[in-house]
């Protein structure tokens, strides 16, 4: 409104003088107040964003808290300490303890190779890096079944002859989670390595450092926050994985049930307090992840 009212005045001012001095147009334009238009638009947009986030994220999160304690503290504790729940928590911890260190070490290694070396197939790998995120978790589970199932798997019969059970046991659950969380560390570390460039490492080589010393003393300190960030994302994802694990685990109670599978099972049995109690444990991990993420973001910037 204000701009529309002032604009004709600016034009009139320009028309009235036949030969304006240089720069007067610019001065006139700058002196016109540049927006801020109506404050209503701003607050309408902010409210719209708030409503959307409230309906989709905030209410569901509050609902978990309310339902977990709907029958009191005792019922909540009873719900998350049944033998089934305790075993499910242990399975989730076990999988995370396998997945996070492996994917951290190999994620940093892969990122380092991609950042420092040019080799055939490098661009293909860069393009396919996000495949585990793009692909459906059910398909990931299916792939592992087709590889390791003792009856239909490509290499399954070999492992069966060795007496090793992979499918419907924890090894396959670790494998699918490794697959799904592989990109997280790589994607955080790769840009950090590219940003810091090669020159410091070169200097270390010139001073007689071995590649290992150069990596450990020069490269690693530069990328440590990126690695931390990747580890956090990888951990959150490993703990929350559901689709691929439900395909390969067989969902045997007190054997191959993880915490997310446990949530689905008890919710299906209308045990709301137990379902939301376990959900609360899982969402607390998500909230902690976010808080740590925020802290790390500041550190890195």
Partner 1 sequence: MASLSAGKRNPGTLVPIGLAVAYGSALVLLPIAALLFRITTIAPADFWRMVTTPAAVAAYQLTFFSAGIAATINTVAGLVLAWILVRYEFPGRAITNAIVDLPFAMPNAVAGVTLAFLYAPGGPIGRFFDPGTPLAEVFGWFGITPVQLVYSQMGVILAMVFVTLPFVVRAIQPVLMALEPEVEEAATSLGATPRQTFWRVILPLLIPSLLTGFVLAFSRSIGEYGAVVLLSGNIPFSTLTAPVYIYQRLEEYDYGGAAAVSFVLMLLSLIILLLINLLQGWSQRYDD
Interactions with partner 1, residue window 192-251 (CB under 8 A) = 202, 205-206, 208-212, 214, 236, 239-243, 246-247
Task: Compute the least distance from the CB of residue 86 to partner 1, in Å.
Answer: 18
Q: What are phi and psi of 261, to 5 degrees?
A: -65, -35
Q: For residue 269, state whether it binds partner 1 (rule: CB under 8 A).
A: no
Per rule CB under 8 A, is residue 48 in the interface with partner 1? Answer: yes
Burial, 36: exposed, middle or buried (Cβ in 10 Å; 0-12, 13-18, 19+)? exposed
Stretch of 81-89, 135-143, 161-169, 221-229 lying at the interface with partner 1 (CB under 8 A):
135-143
Among 49, 54, 62, which Cα is nearest to 283's?
62
Does residue 29 touch partner 1 according to CB under 8 A?
A: yes
The minimum distance between CB 62 and partner 1, in angstroms, equals 9
Token couple for 218: 């020069």
Binding segment (CB under 8 A) for partner 1, from list 15-23, 74-82, 159-167, 268-276: 268-276
User: How far from 43 is each of 34, 35, 187, 226, CA to CA, in Å?
Assistant: 19, 15, 36, 36
Q: Which stretch binds partner 1 (CB under 8 A): 15-23, 80-88, 217-225, 259-267?
A: 259-267
Residue in 13, 24, 59, 194 binding partner 1, rule: CB under 8 A: 59
Q: Which residues contact 252 (CB under 8 A, 6 or more apart)?
A: 168
Q: 211-233 burial by CB neighbour count: b if 16+ within 10 A, else e?
A: eeebbeebbeeebebbbbbbbbb
**Min dist. Cβ of residue 91 to partner 1 (A):** 14
Report, in Å, the least distance between residue 143 CB and partner 1. 4
Judged by CB under 8 A, the residue of 175, 192, 193, 218 near partner 1 is: 175
Select from 13, 14, 24, 49 the one that contacts partner 1 (CB under 8 A): 49
Distances in Å between the alpha carbon of 15 and those of 3, 25, 98, 172? 18, 11, 76, 79
Tokens of residue 208, six digits: 């007689």
Q: What is the DSSP string of 65-90?
A: HHHHTTTHHHHHHHHHSSHHHHHHHH
Count residues near partner 1 (CB under 8 A): 99
Tell me the CA distances in angstroms from 125 to 118, 174, 199, one per residue in order. Answer: 12, 23, 25
Interface with partner 1 by CB under 8 A: which range of 13-21, 82-90, 219-227, 276-284?
276-284
Q: How far apart are CA 125 and CA 131, in angstroms?
A: 10
Q: Which is nearer to partner 1, 19 or 56 (CB)?
A: 56
How far apart (Å, rounded) are the C-alpha atoms in residues 301 and 293?
12
By C-beta, is 11 or 255 nearer to partner 1? 11
- Please state the closest distance from residue 18 (CB atom) to partner 1, in A: 21
Task: Look up residue 138 and give its two tokens.
Answer: 């059910």
Out of 76, 112, 168, 229, the residue judged to bind partner 1 by CB under 8 A: 112
58 near partner 1 (CB under 8 A):
yes
Which one of the spans 161-169, 188-196, 221-229, 267-275 is the region binding partner 1 (CB under 8 A)? 267-275
298 lies in the binding site for partner 1 (CB under 8 A): no
């Amino acid at each position: 409104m204000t701009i529309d009212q002032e604009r004709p005045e600016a034009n009139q001012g320009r028309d009235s003088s036949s030969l304006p001095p240089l720069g007067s147009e610019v001065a006139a334009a700058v002196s016109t107040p540049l927006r801020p238009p109506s404050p209503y638009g701003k607050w309408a947009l902010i409210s719209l964003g708030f409503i959307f986030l409230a309906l989709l994220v905030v209410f569901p999160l509050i609902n978990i808290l309310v339902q977990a304690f709907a029958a009191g503290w005792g019922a909540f504790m009873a719900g998350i300490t049944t033998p089934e729940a305790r075993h499910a928590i242990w399975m989730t911890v076990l999988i995370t303890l396998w997945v996070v260190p492996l994917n951290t070490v190999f994620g940093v290694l892969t990122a380092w190779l991609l950042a420092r070396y040019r080799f055939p197939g490098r661009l293909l790998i860069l393009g396919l890096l996000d495949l585990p995120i793009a692909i459906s978790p059910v398909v990931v589970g299916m792939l592992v079944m087709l590889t390791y199932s003792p009856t239909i798997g490509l290499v399954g019969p070999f492992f069966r002859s060795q007496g090793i059970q992979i499918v419907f046991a924890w090894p396959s659950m670790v494998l699918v989670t490794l697959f799904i969380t592989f990109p997280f560390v790589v994607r955080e570390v790769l840009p950090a390595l590219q940003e810091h460039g090669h020159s410091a490492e070169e200097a270390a080589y010139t001073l007689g450092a071995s590649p290992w010393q150069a990596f450990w003393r020069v490269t690693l300190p530069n990328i440590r926050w990126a690695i931390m960030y990747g580890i956090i994302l990888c951990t959150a994802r490993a703990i929350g994985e559901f689709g691929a694990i439900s395909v390969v685990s067989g969902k045997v109670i007190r054997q191959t049930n993880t915490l997310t599978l446990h949530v689905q099972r008890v919710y299906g049995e209308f045990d709301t307090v137990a379902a939301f109690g376990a959900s609360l444990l899982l969402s607390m991990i998500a909230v902690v992840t976010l808080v740590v993420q925020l802290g790390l973001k500041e550190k890195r910037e």
